[in-house]
Amino acid sequence: MCSMRSPDLSPSRRTCNFFVRSCNTRRVHDRPGRWYARWWAVLIVLGLVLGATAIVTVKALGLRSVVVDAKPLPQPPEGFDTRWWNDALGRWVQGDRVDYAEVLNDAPDLKRFAATLAEVGPTATPARFQTEQERLSYYINAYNALTLLGVVDNWPISSVQDVRGWLNPRAGFGFFYGLRFFLDGAKTNLYDLENGVIRGFRDARIHAAINCASISCPPLAPHAYDPVALEGQLDLVTRAFCSSPVHVRVDGEAHEIRLSSIFDWYRADFEEHARRLGRPPTVEDFIVAFAEPSVAASLEQAREAGFEVVFQPYDWGLNQF
CA 204 to chain centroid: 18
* Cβ-based burial of 54 (10 A; exposed 0-12, middle 13-18, buried ≥19): exposed
Q: How far apart are CA 66 and CA 154, in angstroms?
A: 10
237 in Cβ contact with 206 (< 8 Å): no
pLDDT at residue 103 in the model = 98
Averages of pLDDT over runs of 10 residues in the chain (321 residues) are: 41 41 44 56 54 48 88 97 98 98 98 98 98 98 98 98 88 94 98 98 98 98 98 98 98 98 98 98 98 98 98 98 91
Count of residues in the chain: 321
pLDDT at residue 218 in the model = 98
Sign of CA dihedral 151, 153, 158, 161: negative
For residue 51, the one-letter residue type is G
pLDDT at residue 170 in the model = 87
What is the three-class DSSP state of 319?
Answer: coil
What is the three-class DSSP state of 125?
Answer: coil
What is the three-class DSSP state of 179?
Answer: strand
Q: What is the CA radius of gyration of the chain?
A: 32
Q: How far apart are CA 298 and CA 202, in angstroms?
A: 28
CA nearest 155: which of 105, 209, 220?
A: 105
pLDDT at residue 4 in the model = 40
- DSSP alpha helices (H): ranges in the chain? 11-61, 83-92, 100-105, 107-119, 132-153, 190-192, 230-243, 262-265, 267-276, 283-290, 293-304
132 in Cβ contact with 25 (< 8 Å): no
**pTM (predicted TM-score):** 0.83
pLDDT at residue 267 in the model = 98
Spell out the residues 6+ positions from residue 206 whose beta carbon is closer than 8 angstroms to its own. 136, 140, 198, 199, 234
Q: How far apart are CA 301 and CA 297, in angstroms?
A: 6
Going from N- to C-terminal start, the domains of the chain cover: 34-62, 65-230, 241-311
DSSP 8-class letter at 96: T
